[in-house]
Amino acid sequence: MTHDAILFIDVDDSLSVRYLYREPHFAVARAQGLACLTAGIRGRKHLQRLQDSSDELFLLDALNEQSIVDLVGELDGRYHIRGIFCQAGHPSALGEVGCIVARACQRLGLVYSSPDAIAACNNKFLMRKVLKQHGLRSVPFALCNNEQELQAGAERVGYPLIAKPPFGGASAFIKKCSNWAQLRSHYAHFLSDHGAAAYADFYGCAHTLPEEDGHCRDYIPGRSLLLEGYIPGVEGSVECVIAGERIHALLINEKLLLTERSGTVLENLLISPPTSFTPAQCEQIRRYAADCLRAVGLTNAVVHFEFRMTDEGPVVIEINPRVGGLYVNAAFRDLAAIDPYQVYLALLLGEPGLNAHLEAGARRVEAAGQHYAMLAIYPEHSGYFKGIEGLAFLDDSPSVLEYAQQDGGHFIDADIEEHYLLKCWARVDGADHAHAVHDAIRQHLRVIIDHREAG
């Protein structure tokens, strides 16, 4: 008997799990009677966590299109693979898994996102190129592979600027630089310490970029740095779903509190619906997000779109071809009555009626009278995270609806990337109340971080 199934391609072999993505999709699939299969790369260290959440685990000899197609062929007769997916925002050192899975799905006749669009989303240099080609509002940019290129690129882009890896996760090695001394110091820090990031795998693998003006450019993990003109204004995100080619820009989250560290930018507090944007601005933000997604050509995806609202209008920061982090899933649920994992599974399976469901969600968001806040607690200094005291305060808080703590017992570098030790989802009356809830939580909880080195 052949069993309908979905297949997840997993490349996260880090000591601590980098994202919760496979499991919530599998929970939805199991509720629909689907078998949940996972494929990883042979030789990986952490197999148990894949086995724990999968009906069957398969090991591939290599991460490439052919290995996935061959696996599906081997499973024929036992499983009818209805959809194949991955965390498309994780361009691993083994290969850009989102593009590989997309091309394999295309060959197998399954639903897929445009592989070129996934590449343009994950590589912020390519994203800026696409926006420039389409005449969409953006900022000057330059890709640099050495200090000489960095100095020349900075002169073209102008100060202040943002320096960051073209690929990346957890806001690793992102810095606002106001002069050459700051930029040069940040680049030296990146060159020497890029491998220390918990999300270092997100830099992807070395490859040659598409030719431009007769010249080829190389992307080199741990060496290539992207310079972008600094974007002033209030920061936010748009949570979108693309059904086929139809774009639904559903939710707007406003970032109420950001903290700059020496090598990263932390998102401390967000509110949804936003309180700083007028209805006309919200409509402008949604239109702009849709224009950018149309330009990069993304299809069949749930998208986390980040921007800043300038005096001229919104300007994109990045486009992530995945569900947003923190409690974006709860924002979908409580504001739009949409389960983003269920929606993505419906996309993969080609289920009918999805556009009507998303339109209804958009109407609920527009009529929403209740505000919600996401907040995160980050380490104040580097060290071994042991845990958090005072969590009973969250259990007793009438505002806090959900919270989750990161597992303790490992070293955290507080200065090169974001590590949210605790995340919360709260019901609030507005921005002032959101700040008050955040401040109260900071006051009542105690993060325990040991300064001592291991051993």
From the first residue on, what is the mean pLDDT of each consecutive set of 10 residues in the chain (455 residues)?
A: 94 84 96 96 88 93 96 95 95 93 97 96 95 97 95 96 91 93 96 87 87 78 96 97 96 94 87 96 98 97 97 97 94 97 96 95 94 94 90 95 88 84 96 96 92 53
Residue 287: per-residue pLDDT:
98
Note whether 71 and 58 are within 8 A (CB). yes
Three-state SS at 336: helix
Residue 245: per-residue pLDDT:
92
Closest among 366, 338, 343 to 273, alpha carbons compared = 366
Residue ranges covered by each domain of the chain: 3-111, 113-132+231-369, 140-229, 370-455
- CATH fold, domain 370-455, is Aldehyde Oxidoreductase; domain 3 (3.90.1170)
Helix axes 115-122, 97-108, angle to 10 degrees: 170
Chain centroid, CA 308 distance in Å: 17
- CATH fold, domain 3-111, is Rossmann fold (3.40.50)
Residue 452: per-residue pLDDT:
61
Residue 28: per-residue pLDDT:
97
Note whether 266 and 226 are within 8 A (CB). no
Long-range contacts of range 191-198, CB-CB < 8 Å, 24 or more positions apart?
191/222, 191/223, 193/416, 194/165, 194/221, 194/222, 195/222, 196/413, 196/416, 197/170, 197/172, 197/173, 197/413, 197/416, 197/417, 198/14, 198/16, 198/18, 198/170, 198/412, 198/413, 198/417, 198/419
DSSP class per residue in 64-125: SHHHHHHHHHHHTTTEEEEEEE--TT-EETTEEHHHHHHHHHHHHT-----HHHHHHHH-HH
What is the spatial distance between Cα 270 and Cα 272, in angstroms, rounded to a whole number? 7
CATH number of this structure's domain 113-132+231-369, picked from the four choices 3.30.70.3400, 3.40.50.1980, 1.10.3720.10, 3.30.470.20: 3.30.470.20
Among positive and negative, which fits the CA dihedral 267, 89, 417, 223? negative
What is the spatial distance between Cα 373 and Cα 307, in angstroms, rounded to a whole number? 18
The residue count of the chain comes to 455
Cis peptide before 160 (omega within 30 of 0): yes
Note whether 439 and 370 are within 8 A (CB). no
Note whether 232 and 160 are within 8 A (CB). no
CATH number of this structure's domain 140-229, picked from the four choices 3.80.10.10, 3.30.1490.20, 3.30.70.120, 2.40.30.10: 3.30.1490.20
Q: Residue 286 CB: number of other CB atoms within 10 A?
A: 21
b/e map 97-125, b = 16+ CB within 10 Å? bbbbbbbbbeebebbbbbbbbbbbbbbbb
Angle at 340 (CA atoms; ends 131, 31), nearest 5 degrees: 145
Cis peptide before 273 (omega within 30 of 0): yes
